[in-house]
Amino acid sequence: MTGLEDHLRGLWLPLVTPFHGGALDERSLRRLTRHYGAGAVDGFILGATSGEGMTLREAELERLVAVARDEMAASGHTMPICLGLSGADTARLKERLDETADWPIDGYLIASPYYVRPSQRGLLAHFEALADHAAWPIVLYNIPYRTAANITNQTLLRLAEHRNIVGLKDCGASREQSIALLRDRPKAFRVLTGEDANYFEALSDGADGGIVLSAHVETATFAAVHAELKRGNHDAALARWNEVAELTRLSFAEPSPAPAKYWLWRSGLIDSPEVRLPMVEVSSELAAAIDREIERRTKVAA
């Protein structure tokens, strides 16, 4: 699949990485890929924050991509895959781009360098160096409350001019900045929100879609919010959003992706809610709250 920018819209799922007994759970991964690949999802992000990518060894990450792509091929469903990469060393990230250049992916989601807090000139030089080097298109990931480095709109607009930078996952936590970027961006530069709780708001402001962890649950409803807004049905979109807004709170009531993994385990989509340290499984209090919500939604559906 080529032309990532043409597919960078709608509902993208930052797929959780299932583990069992400390290892990658390939059986559950196939089940997840088959389930969401047949639904309303427009693309997958693998090995990023929600996929606990920073805990994955290179062989595990490569296997994660290979299994997901293989399962899609077997089930006859094709959708783009972006691989999540992060790091604070530009040279090492260029090596990672070389190491993954022949993997069956369609692009990269690359976060700002964390901890080192580079200047805007440093961010510009960092991402241009990566984009010049990458074999696949890059989607930028601006999430300053994790990295301590906000990519300003001035820098983003410069980066948007690069032929190999096609979009942004926007977790900037500033609606004013996001609206200004949507107004000023080049036509082909895609912006997807990564803030689950602001999904409806961002789409209403003109974002092209969302990368939404909470959409592991009630996926079709999250997709319907986008579809109704595209058709100009604001009230219908808001009604669908109100059906799932509470899920965004539960999904992040404790460090992600533990709540989503617990829900998927309770729903039978993965065989274990296991996460890797320093993440821990959900507390008994949150587990009980999720159980109640599952029961409530089951009754409503019946």
pLDDT digits (tens, 9 = 90+) for 90-105: 999 999 999 999 999 9
Q: What is the pLDDT of residue 2?
A: 55
Q: Per DSSP, which regions of the chain are E strands?
A: 10-14, 19-20, 23-24, 43-46, 81-85, 107-111, 138-142, 165-170, 190-193, 209-211
Q: Band the pLDDT of 138: cuts 50, 70, 90.
A: very high
Q: What is the pTM of this model?
A: 0.97
Say what percent of the chain tops pLDDT 70.
99
Half-sphere exposure of 287 (CA within 13 A, CB side): 10
Q: What is the pLDDT of residues 182-206, one digit of tens each?
A: 999 999 999 999 999 999 999 999 9
CB atoms within 10 A of CB 36: 22
* Catalytic member of 141, 199, 261, 262: 141
Beta pairing class for 23-24 and 81-85: unpaired
- CA-based diameter of the chain, in Å? 56
Q: How far is CA 79 from the centre of its chain?
A: 14
Whether 169 is catalytic is yes
Inform me whether the pLDDT recorded for 240 exceeds 60: yes
pLDDT at 151 over 90: yes
Asked if 141 is an active-site residue, the reply is: yes
**Per the residue annotation, which of 36, 108, 169, 262 is the catalytic one?**
169
